[in-house]
Amino acid sequence: MKTLVRFSQSRIAWLSLTFSALLLEIIALFFQYGMQLNPCVMCIYQRLAMIGLIVAGVIGSLAYRSRFMRFIAIILWGVSSIWGLKFAIDLVDLQTNPSPFATCAFLPEFPSWMPLHEWIPSIFMPSGMCTDAPWIFGGFSMGQWMIGIFSAYCIALVIFIIPALRKNVNQPTRPMFKM
């Protein structure tokens, strides 16, 4: 358990989160621009969740010694991974159970004070349909792969949440009373 606590409170653990999410974001951009697979609204929401994981990893790696900042990073990690999982499940449901009554929006519903699709359309403007599943690998669609990926982030969070929030083990302890 001490090894897990030390690892969860180390910079390398948080950098692992950052770089794994960054790699997946780069892969998503390759699919969009290299393979011409247009992202749908649900894909854009999942992309934003992945960016949330990147930010959580950056916060954790910059302030890995601070219990409070690890707590903030863990909250962002949890919200992002659960939110991404929810949208991945919704996307797969739309793809496997098509219905004329269940469709996705054409534009993302970002808050009016943060219209990312207008600010950075090359990353956040959807141009595909949610019901399309143009890419299959290993018998699974991209949405199904994303369910597995976001599930793995959720499982990793469950494993790391208690050790990461414990009292710092990487710092030397001070005696309570000086003699």
For the chain, the structural domain boundaries read 2-165
Percent of the chain with pLDDT over 70: 87
Residues taking part in catalysis: 40, 43, 47, 104, 130
In the chain, the N- to C-terminal Cα span, in Å, equals: 32
> What confidence tens digit (pLDDT) does each residue in 35-74 have?
988 888 999 999 999 999 999 999 999 987 888 888 899 9
Predicted pLDDT at 177 = 45
At 4 the pLDDT is 67
pLDDT of residue 58: 96
The tens digit of pLDDT for each residue in 125-142 reads: 888 777 777 777 888 888
Q: Assess contact for 71 and 63: CB atoms under 8 A.
A: no
More confident: 20 or 175:
20
Nearest to 161 by CA among 45, 50, 79, 46: 79
Find the range with the poorest average confidence among 77-86, 137-146, 158-167.
158-167
Does residue 116 surpass a pLDDT of 60?
yes
For position 87, what pLDDT does the model report? 94
pTM above 0.95, yes or no: no
Specify the fold of 2-165: Bromodomain-like (1.20.1550)
Output DSSP code: residue 141. E
CB-based contacts of 22, cutoff 8 Å, min separation 6: 54
Calculate what percentage of the chain has a pLDDT beyond 90: 42
pLDDT attached to residue 28: 93
* Confidence class for position 108, pLDDT limits 50, 70, 90: confident
Q: Cβ(128)–Cβ(37) under 8 Å?
A: yes
Structure-model confidence comparison of residues 97 and 135, the more confident one:
97
